[in-house]
């Protein structure tokens, strides 16, 4: 970014664009000790808990990734969707869309899905339990995360592979090869919109109170959600719900493998599963930073932040900030302050009730059925920054 | 209808301000303010706000 930040010379520098950069590195911890903020090739990185909390909802900041397609010189189906969907909107349009979407994501509606989460998790564990080993990503987190979306949309589980593949192809848009992969990305976007149109047609013919039914009703009974906005919202629910949950559950298992006493504790006290989700997201969030952009020049902590500056709010380093979490360990029974793994402010993750519900159920059942999980081969990781997680996670365990 | 907000749990995301702007708002210092006893006609809005709160900090009585 070309914006000049005053006092910037005094700030530490973090090269977050280096593929070897780790958001859990000593360099980040040292930078956090030295300053609330670091310089990066993309703008600023905000490192401490209190500042991340304040800036997540700062009135002079907007959500920062809306310009990603234009930064890459990309137009087309994916770019149109990305620039128009809920996350990229601000102000009145954002508030209107969020109000329309909220009923479909309410905690009341999610409660009804709980038995389906249980059934899905057990069915997947049944497939590999006797073998005493699995690739936890390919055989559990990916089909589970996508299966939950199938349940949400009223699709049969058998569709999971197709949906997962579409989401993976669309996900290429978030990587550095966005422009080269555009044909694949837009073909996947076309297919996901075809799905959404089909689902909407079904609910229009046969109204229902499920997730799509609620959105279709908002579209039919108000003038607040256009046909295109309805489809854009459904696509966001599919796209936003698959990779995030897949990665977060993989990070959960990897963390527990490194803390076997905590896994044993969870197995004995399954009522800790909800707290376990929060503790995992504090120490190992898949969303390691949240992006914001300054809508006008403002001063924060005696630093002038020029209009257009990109800020990465490091949820990862906020969650391990020793001034707020003096006990650095991983402890699912400890009382903790809230983490920022779901972002915060106006753009707080819309799907968090679903994510919390399905991950809680998964960890509860996994800890009952897979004892003493351990690494069983090489774990392949995404870069330890941005949206992170395991690509493959071979584990062995003792089936209970 | 009476509305209380657990300010220990509240993280000022402002989802209630989005869901029910006639009841909840931010003051000039960024603090949350709300109508403690809104008209019964705003019950749907109040419930939408309580549902939308990520911290589930809003209680309606």
Question: Is A324 at the interface with chain B, CB within 8 A?
Answer: no
DSSP A61-121: EEES-TTHHHHTT--SHHHHHHHHSGGG--HHHHHHHHHHHGGGG-HHHHHTTHHHHHHHH
Question: Is A106 at the interface with chain B, CB within 8 A?
Answer: yes
- Alpha-carbon separation of residue A235 from A86, A240, A266, A352, B2 (angstroms): 11, 8, 35, 17, 38
Closest listed residue to residue A370, CA positions, set A256, A238, A228 = A256
CATH number, residue A222:
1.10.630.10
- The minimal CB distance from A107 to the residues B13, B18, B51 is found for B51
Closest listed residue to residue A362, CA positions, set A234, A235, A256, A212 = A256
Cβ-defined contact of B14 to A352 (cutoff 8 Å):
no
| pLDDT tens, residue by residue, A153-172 | 999 999 999 999 999 999 99
How high is the pLDDT of residue A55? Answer: 97
Cβ-defined contact of A53 to B51 (cutoff 8 Å):
no
Q: Measure in Å the smallest separation between the Cα of A15 and chain B Cα atoms.
A: 30
How high is the pLDDT of residue A5? Answer: 62
Residues 28-67 of A with CB under 8 A from B: 53, 57, 59
Average pLDDT over residues A75-85: 97
How high is the pLDDT of residue A7? Answer: 63
Tell me the count of A-B CB pairs closer than 8 A.
45
Cβ-defined contact of B21 to A95 (cutoff 8 Å):
yes
State how far the Cα of A266 lies from the Cα of A273, in Å rounded to an integer. Answer: 7
How high is the pLDDT of residue A109? Answer: 83
Predicted confidence (pLDDT) at residue A222 exceeds the cutoff of 80: yes
How high is the pLDDT of residue A6? Answer: 58
Number of structural domains in chain A: 1
- The minimal CB distance from B51 to the residues A94, A108, A346 is found for A108
**Residue A137: pLDDT band with limits 50, 70, 90:** very high
| pLDDT tens, residue by residue, A171-220 | 999 887 899 999 999 999 999 999 999 999 999 999 998 999 999 999 99
Whether residue A261 is contained in a domain is answered as yes
Q: Closest residue of A to B21, CA-based?
A: A95
Helices (H), chain A: 26-34, 49-56, 68-71, 77-84, 91-101, 107-111, 114-128, 136, 142-153, 160-171, 182-205, 211-221, 227-257, 260-268, 273-283, 315-319, 352-369
Instruction: Take residue A255 and report the two structure tokens written for it.
Output: 């963390």
Place of tokens 């949240």: A290
> What percentage of chain A carries pLDDT values higher than 90?
91
Substitution target from B15, B24, B31, B56 for chain A, most A beta carbons within 10 A: B15
How high is the pLDDT of residue A3? Answer: 58
How high is the pLDDT of residue A112? Answer: 86
Q: What is the pTM of this model?
A: 0.95
Whether residue A320 is contained in a domain is answered as yes
Cβ-defined contact of B18 to A57 (cutoff 8 Å):
no
How high is the pLDDT of residue A27? Answer: 97
Predicted confidence (pLDDT) at residue A129 exceeds the cutoff of 70: yes
How many beta carbons lie within 10 A of that of residue A207, not counting itself? 10
Average pLDDT over residues A360-368: 98
Question: Is A244 at the interface with chain B, CB within 8 A?
Answer: no
Whether residue A3 is contained in a domain is answered as no
Domain that residue A282 falls in: 8-399
Cβ-defined contact of B54 to A99 (cutoff 8 Å):
no
- Cβ contacts of A205 within 8 Å, gap of 6 or more: none
Substitution target from B54, B56, B57 for chain A, most A beta carbons within 10 A: B54
How high is the pLDDT of residue A176? Answer: 79
Domain B3-60, CATH:
3.30.70.20
Contact residues of B toward A, CB < 8 A: 11-15, 18-19, 21, 30, 48, 51-52, 54-56
| pLDDT tens, residue by residue, A243-276 | 999 999 999 999 999 999 999 999 999 999 999 9
How high is the pLDDT of residue A328? Answer: 80
Instruction: Take residue A384 and report the two structure tokens written for it.
Output: 């330890």
Average per-residue pLDDT for chain A: 95
Cβ-defined contact of A345 to B13 (cutoff 8 Å):
yes
Predicted confidence (pLDDT) at residue A361 exceeds the cutoff of 80: yes
Give Cα A130 to chain centroid, integer Å.
31
How high is the pLDDT of residue B1? Answer: 94
> pLDDT below 50 — which residues of chain B?
none
Strand ranges of the sheet holding A61-63, from the earlier edge strand across to the other edge: A37-40, A43-46, A310-314, A289-294, A61-63
Substitution target from A50, A100, A102 for chain B, most B beta carbons within 10 A: A102
Instruction: Take residue A192 and report the two structure tokens written for it.
Output: 């996901």
**Residue A115: pLDDT band with limits 50, 70, 90:** very high
| pLDDT tens, residue by residue, A338-353 | 999 999 999 999 999 9
Question: Is A380 at the interface with chain B, CB within 8 A?
Answer: no
How high is the pLDDT of residue A2? Answer: 47
**Residue A42: pLDDT band with limits 50, 70, 90:** confident
């Amino acid at each position: 970014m070309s914006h000049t930040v005053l006092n910037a010379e005094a700030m530490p520098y973090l090269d977050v664009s280096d593929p070897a950069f780790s958001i859990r590195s000593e360099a980040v911890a040292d930078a956090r000790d030295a300053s609330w903020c670091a310089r990066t090739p993309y703008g600023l990185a905000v490192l401490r808990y209190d500042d991340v909390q304040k800036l997540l909802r700062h009135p002079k900041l907007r959500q920062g990734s809306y310009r990603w397609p234009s930064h890459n010189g990309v137009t087309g189906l994916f770019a149109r969707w990305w620039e128009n969907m809920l996350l990229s909107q601000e102000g009145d349009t954002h508030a209107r869309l969020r109000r329309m979407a909220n009923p479909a994501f309410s905690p009341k509606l999610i409660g009804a899905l709980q038995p389906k989460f249980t059934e899905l998790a057990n069915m997947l564990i049944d497939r590999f339990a006797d073998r005493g080993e699995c690739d936890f990503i390919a055989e559990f987190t990916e089909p589970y995360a996508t299966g939950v979306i199938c349940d949400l949309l009223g699709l049969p589980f058998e569709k999971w592979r197709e949906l997962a593949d579409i989401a993976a192809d669309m996900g290429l848009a978030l990587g550095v090869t966005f422009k080269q992969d555009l044909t694949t990305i837009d073909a996947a976007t076309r297919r996901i919109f075809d799905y959404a149109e089909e689902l909407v047609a079904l609910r229009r013919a046969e109204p229902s109170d499920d997730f799509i039914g609620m959105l279709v009703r908002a579209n039919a009974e108000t003038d607040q959600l256009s046909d295109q906005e309805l489809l854009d919202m459904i696509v966001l629910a599919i796209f936003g719900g698959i990779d995030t949950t897949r990665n977060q559950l993989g990070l959960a298992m990897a963390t527990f493998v490194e803390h076997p006493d905590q896994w044993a504790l969870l197995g004995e006290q399954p009522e800790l599963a909800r707290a376990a989700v929060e503790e995992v997201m504090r120490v190992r969030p898949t969303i390691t930073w949240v992006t914001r952009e300054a809508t006008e020049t403002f001063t924060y902590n005696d630093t002038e932040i020029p209009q257009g500056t990109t800020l990465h709010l490091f949820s990862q380093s906020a969650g391990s900030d020793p001034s707020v979490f003096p006990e650095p360990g991983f402890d699912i029974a400890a009382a903790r302050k809230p983490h920022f793994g779901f972002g915060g402010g106006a753009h707080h993750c819309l799907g968090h009730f679903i994510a919390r519900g399905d991950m809680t159920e998964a960890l509860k059942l996994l800890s009952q059925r897979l004892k003493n999980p351990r690494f069983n081969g090489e774990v392949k990781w995404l870069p330890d920054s941005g949206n992170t997680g395991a690509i493959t996670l071979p584990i062995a365990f003792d089936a209970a | 209808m009476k509305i209380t907000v657990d300010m220990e749990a509240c993280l000022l995301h402002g989802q209630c301000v989005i869901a029910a702007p006639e009841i909840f708002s931010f003051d000039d210092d960024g603090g949350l303010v709300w109508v403690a006893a809104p008209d019964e006609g705003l019950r749907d809005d109040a419930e939408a706000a309580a549902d939308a709160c990520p911290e589930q900090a809003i209680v309606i009585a």
